[in-house]
Structure 1
């Protein structure tokens, strides 16, 4: 099917004698429209988030809040409160199509019939007078849903005489720190008449006024523990709050639309602002209708009766405010007649301006897009107008930045698909992106570890998952690392109970929240004061972790060295004091003075349910790589900025020499590296040489010799990949050399961690084994995108079709595959710092 550009749209109708049939776009995830899953993955722990498999691609800019339209056509994702997640289908938020062909009339909402959910009475019951689009079955396909983030396509076929495609996207543009923050979605509708008769068509968009809904009515900062020992906080949004809402027409240069507003406090509160539905103001030959207010709590006939019979809606502009208990929706429709062979393209924009995001009581911030559209919550129409003016340029830029990846046929198409689609988490992973401020030229940025572990930018996790951010939006990656640089010297002596000890039946064990010079695990949680109050997680005492300092140092050097924007010495200098503090603090845990920090027996690294004792391969290799990175930093800062780093170079060199001598002596067993030096645990740890991978990725001296790296990787492949379910699922974290589990009831060792697998695959690729790299990635991608886990990729999957911790940050480690290509920096736009910071 031909999709016309904006210039063609201006002429509105375009005759064509050879219109191309629809086909699924390259490197996209696709599923028959509305087709149920037979056996999707389910949660491992009852308390973990499980919304079911009906997840589509998110729409909306980073940190702007996002909405999502599912593979059955309904809008069911509403992550509009910073750091929080709410999923539920709102039936009247929907597109619909009316069609008349001669005497035949058809009208359907363009989603499958909504399911009654008694747990959400505030959303009312489904609209009984509406006709819903039939779902696909195994015998009959009524359309398809496809996604290649930030693009999605919903194709409708076989129900209407017309063919319909809706391409939806937001301006997610590498290197653009303005448009990537915008709270809006463009729906590019293509209506085609493939018949020999004229078709009268009317496209409807209905939307609920949700102003005031997305704020937490229970902002308690107290920590509770789940059944897996992890801390959580309550989220009780004001869903259904309708008092004081009003909708009205808006007409201005560039758009015709409906504006939805609600009550406004002074200053503006979280969740308050505007929504806008809009189409271009110049539509020759097209009738535009607007209904500013209708009641979605009834059977829906108020709107549907005339639409289903004539393709019209009540033209009304009633702007009075709703009373307590009332709900208000608005609608917009466009009506046109298509001659045989004609096509029409119509862009429809949904924008929202909810500028305030709040945390603990009295703690608030402004979203990044307010730097460009103001913070008064009255910019929804301006955002929509910009989208209607510029959407075709945005669309071309998306094609341009995706083209280098699409062209890499050495990566299987399914992996190229996953490279794009795993970026979804930057929008819907509870992302927070604040307005700029002194010291933060592009604002402060953070993505949650996941919604079950709801704290920002877990440092051990982003060691893997931030490679995408580095390659596409490097200034945001710097913003995160600046936040850690400020947090490392800070201290908070508040005692907290450590959750792991509860799961072990060992009672209450407390630890201070944050020790000075300890590298924090995370940048805080959305129910407290993120960026200022760090180390939210209390499952383990993160002051004792043996990987975090190394993780930080490696990320600083990585971002300096590999940023598409070039080397930034001022960034390096800004982070240097924290680098020195972090490494000096970690060296305190070298209890036997062999140069290497010792793990303490309680889980004290990213595998935080897996105890290690003494020197460990995982933490020791990261430590050696980090010392090499710190030495490289010190030399550059002295050479290029004249900083006196001689003392640090001397100290780090001594530690490094001692560490290198003892690492192999303590851990090499002749075939692979032991998990640790003292526990005697006889397992092959899959990610034992993550530090060596990072050293090689950054061009530093390798941690281990090439032959020992390859020998270890071969043992991992045989024991943890081929020996675990025949390689069908991916690489298990740790198994005995014969592929058997040490403990059949173990947690972390028997899980396949998606992000660890992607990072490990990149290591295989660096070491020349692209075949194994592809096999590992393919196994994981098949589980995620075949098991109903798309756009909610979990941390861990198991052999019995369960998962843990969906919407997980580490899964973006699939971009480590791209980082191992020599020309990954060629993605257009990523190298731009952005002209409007």
Structure 2
């Protein structure tokens, strides 16, 4: 399975885009995630409980989780658990490309245009949909309004907005997502007039300034198919808060502004600022438009979108009557009632506040016009985690500081000015993949759209705080890259709130390595520092039911902390079991260092010098295992090669090499079966086929610059024929076998003995991990099994994105019975490893 034909809905969406008369950079790309607004998806349900025969192993830990941890955390400490096993993230097949840069907070959007899934407080998500956050279109002909709608697709429920008309024929609107951009086409029910909205966030690979900015831009193009000139007005409305009850706590205010262009080259902007507190932290929203030669900008400074319909109705009526709002700055002739709109008084308890900005332009008959440019900015400069022990500043404040108003307006003007550069850079990034005819079409969508998690991951990018002093007392950590990057971390998942979980980051790190390598280096330094530190605070580990120190010296921590606690200071927030004894974390760190050293030569000298001096945790392994022993073997070989370069002691390098050779002989003798490497030698799963059994070999193989190179080319880590046979076995047993049928990608565990099919004795064995599927497909490509590789990866992507409707919230796992686990997860970023292997094999 390499390419499913388009569904009827995808074909209809493509047809709507093809109707547009767009040229040049306005033309939507030929590839991306497509949907009409009427699209429906096959039902799927979240994972709630294991199968009955799987419960016995989990009963004790589950009870301890509930009574010793969960109830205390939720109801006594009033905090969110790092994993909430009882309350799942809402499953809604509605999401589109998110807004914002890296580590600055994110605002989600649905593919039908709604604003939802706000992540402004570090690491914490709110899933409400504020109704007032929307666009409004007004069409006028011969001085009168002929059409006006809010571009939302359900009736307004708030009393204040009940007078606003909403809705368009859903089959006449379509969405195309290609992160970090999206395109939405609206075919209005008025004489074939069409609108095209292009949404852009400043994600620019290797640009470490612009890519951290908390902004998004919306450009609108109008196609007038009528024989008469039309006046088209587009209005952007946005309210305070993030859709929770705290929005009506009071204390929010609006500040209208107009900033003219000047000699610094920054364009003018007109709009409104919403000043507020979110979780006790000052936050300012900026909603603005850029005036053009053929357009005018007016604003509606403030209205209550919740309970008071007076000003909301006046806004709506003003658009119907004039196609405009109020000119800013106000003229001397402004009425007293209009003047009151500009008063900056704060809201009272029970009130909310919104602002709106409108761009009006004339569109000649039978022509198209670039009608409007809007910017949304959110400036939350100083942040604390829940424990409040450290005050940090976000990275973008290096360049945008001063008062809340000054910094937000500067962000907006800078974004308008930089937009052409961003469009060009993003287009070049996209085209490096889209124009490669050797890649499958579906993959051209997958590699960018899975990258949504770069920004929509609860990520934080910070300066300041004591934890930014990563220099040890002996002066060991002296890498300039770390000083430049500050602190960066991102959540394991929207439901698994632990920062930079390392065993999963090893897969996801390929996205950073390819696009933001300095951030990958910075994360490595943070884990290195955590490994040499020690925290003997006693923690009760729920699975093993023992109490030990939180973090032992020279043991790589599982994660960098919980946003509901104090990350970077207290690591290892995963209290299910002590990760000090895990056998995969330290080898994964060694292999990541090796890969970074091989593929990032500009960082290799200091980095390697600093770095030189287990996670399938619900699927037990006994004795020697293919996965962990393979990691150890690969780490030994990598260490031998690195120590030969980084150490003057050649004897040390030889010792590592001899140890690796001895381990290799034992590995082959004990685990090779002729068809695969045994899962383990002493447990009940020793006949299971594990998809990811050659993870260590894969890390070494993909760390080479080209396809021909291997570690120890004359003496490879494993016989290449053994690797190829193993991958063929994995494909046959874990993808094609009965119960899988090749349509859902690659599952973690399969049975080698009859009957072939899913391994149901363990939860994780019967799951398909999306990121692992991409990683194993990468190794298949490296092994010359292109057809099998693309079949596995395509099945995974098509199931998650187009069957289940989990676009822009890719879960950790899916099951063959249409369940899923852990929405919004980091491991699928491993798709970038698949791209690297595809390019190597093609060359």
- SS of residue paired to 2:485: coil
Q: Choose from 135, 148, 153 the match for 1:112.
A: 153
Residue deviations 1:196-228 (CA, integer Å, cap 9, x gap): 111121110111123xx69xxxxxxxxxxxxxx
Q: Choose from 144, 154, 157 the match for 2:174.
A: 144
Residues 252, 353 of structure 2: 8 Å contact kept: no
How high is the TM-score relative to the length of structure 2?
0.83
Answer with 174-183 or 342-351: which moved more: 342-351
- Per-residue deviation, 1:115: 7.2
- Find the counterpart in structure 1 of residue 189 from structure 2: 159
TM-aligned CA distance change 1:244 to 1:671, over 3 Å: closer
CA distance in 2, matches of 1:540, 1:426: 28
- Find the counterpart in structure 2 of residue 580 from structure 1: none
- Find the counterpart in structure 2 of residue 189 from structure 1: 220
- Find the counterpart in structure 1 of residue 416 from structure 2: 388
Residue deviations 1:619-665 (CA, integer Å, cap 9, x gap): 11111111111122111213xxxxx3446424423431221121111
CA distance in 2, matches of 1:700, 1:731: 27
CA distance in 2, matches of 1:92, 1:302: 15
Q: Choose from 711, 729, 736 the match for 1:700.
A: 711
Q: Choose from 244, 249, 255 the match for 1:241.
A: 249
Gaps spanning 5+ residues in structure 2: where?
1-19, 50-85, 262-266, 328-340, 470-481, 704-709
- Per-residue deviation, 1:463: 1.4
- Find the counterpart in structure 1 of residue 604 from structure 2: 568
Residues 719, 739 of structure 1: 8 Å contact kept: no
CA distance in 2, matches of 1:47, 1:754: 23
1:632 aligns with 2:641: yes
- Find the counterpart in structure 2 of residue 404 from structure 1: 432
TM-aligned CA distance change 1:352 to 1:110, over 3 Å: same
- Find the counterpart in structure 2 of residue 130 from structure 1: 164
- Find the counterpart in structure 1 of residue 799 from structure 2: 783
TM-aligned CA distance change 1:286 to 1:522, over 3 Å: same
Residues 759, 816 of structure 1: 8 Å contact kept: yes
- SS of residue paired to 1:730: coil
Residues 757, 780 of structure 1: 8 Å contact kept: yes
- Find the counterpart in structure 1 of residue 665 from structure 2: 661
TM-aligned CA distance change 1:576 to 1:26, over 3 Å: same
Q: Choose from 553, 556, 562 the match for 1:516.
A: 553
Answer with 352-361 or 255-264: which moved more: 255-264
CA distance in 2, matches of 1:56, 1:192: 24
Residue deviations 1:474-502 (CA, integer Å, cap 9, x gap): 0000000010110111111222232335x
How high is the TM-score relative to the length of structure 1?
0.83
Once superposed, what is the RMSD of the aligned Cα atoms?
Answer: 2.5
- SS of residue paired to 2:483: coil
- Find the counterpart in structure 1 of residue 287 from structure 2: 277
CA distance in 1, matches of 2:504, 2:425: 30
- Find the counterpart in structure 1 of residue 779 from structure 2: 763
Residues 622, 680 of structure 2: 8 Å contact kept: yes
TM-aligned CA distance change 1:466 to 1:375, over 3 Å: farther
Q: Choose from 322, 335, 357 the match for 1:310.
A: 322
- SS of residue paired to 1:626: helix
Q: Choose from 751, 762, 766 the match for 1:746.
A: 762
Residues 40, 53 of structure 1: 8 Å contact kept: no
- SS of residue paired to 1:155: strand
TM-aligned CA distance change 1:410 to 1:739, over 3 Å: farther
Answer with 736-745 or 550-559: which moved more: 736-745
- Per-residue deviation, 1:458: 1.2
Q: Choose from 266, 270, 292 the match for 1:257.
A: 270
CA distance in 2, matches of 1:376, 1:249: 14
1:466 aligns with 2:509: yes
CA distance in 2, matches of 1:705, 1:114: 63
Residue deviations 1:497-547 (CA, integer Å, cap 9, x gap): 32335xxxxxx4333221111111111121222223211111222111110
- SS of residue paired to 1:59: coil
CA distance in 2, matches of 1:362, 1:252: 41
1:433 aligns with 2:466: no
CA distance in 2, matches of 1:725, 1:240: 50
CA distance in 1, matches of 2:825, 2:376: 27
Residues 778, 838 of structure 2: 8 Å contact kept: no
- Find the counterpart in structure 2 of residue 223 from structure 1: none
Answer with 250-259 or 751-760: which moved more: 250-259
TM-aligned CA distance change 1:187 to 1:823, over 3 Å: farther
- Per-residue deviation, 1:730: 1.2
TM-aligned CA distance change 1:276 to 1:447, over 3 Å: same
- Per-residue deviation, 1:780: 0.5
- SS of residue paired to 1:175: coil
- Per-residue deviation, 1:44: 4.3
- Per-residue deviation, 1:280: 2.0
- Per-residue deviation, 1:155: 0.7
- Per-residue deviation, 1:269: 8.1
Answer with 308-317 or 126-135: which moved more: 308-317
Taking the TM superposition and a 5 Å limit, the aligned residue runs for 1:206-355 are 206-210=237-241, 238-253=246-261, 254-262=267-275, 271-281=281-291, 283-297=292-306, 298-299=308-309, 300-314=312-326, 316-345=341-370, 346-355=372-381
Higher helix share: 2
CA distance in 2, matches of 1:801, 1:273: 40
Residues 35, 135 of structure 1: 8 Å contact kept: no
Residues 168, 188 of structure 2: 8 Å contact kept: no
1:710 aligns with 2:735: no
CA distance in 2, matches of 1:687, 1:466: 17
- Per-residue deviation, 1:744: 3.5
- SS of residue paired to 1:791: coil
Residue deviations 1:294-342 (CA, integer Å, cap 9, x gap): 1112343132222234323355422222222221111111122211123
- SS of residue paired to 1:306: helix
TM-aligned CA distance change 1:19 to 1:773, over 3 Å: closer
- SS of residue paired to 2:495: coil
TM-aligned CA distance change 1:286 to 1:670, over 3 Å: closer
Taking the TM superposition and a 5 Å limit, the aligned residue runs for 1:480-499 are 480-499=523-542
Residues 42, 805 of structure 2: 8 Å contact kept: no
1:73 aligns with 2:83: no
TM-aligned CA distance change 1:473 to 1:742, over 3 Å: closer
Q: Choose from 543, 546, 550 the match for 1:500.
A: 543
CA distance in 2, matches of 1:471, 1:742: 34
Residues 41, 789 of structure 1: 8 Å contact kept: no
- Per-residue deviation, 1:256: 2.9
CA distance in 1, matches of 2:106, 2:735: 37
CA distance in 1, matches of 2:100, 2:159: 27
CA distance in 2, matches of 1:819, 1:468: 10
- Find the counterpart in structure 2 of residue 690 from structure 1: 695
1:809 aligns with 2:833: no
1:177 aligns with 2:208: yes
- Per-residue deviation, 1:700: 1.8
TM-aligned CA distance change 1:823 to 1:366, over 3 Å: farther
CA distance in 2, matches of 1:575, 1:769: 35
Residues 188, 195 of structure 2: 8 Å contact kept: no
CA distance in 2, matches of 1:104, 1:37: 37
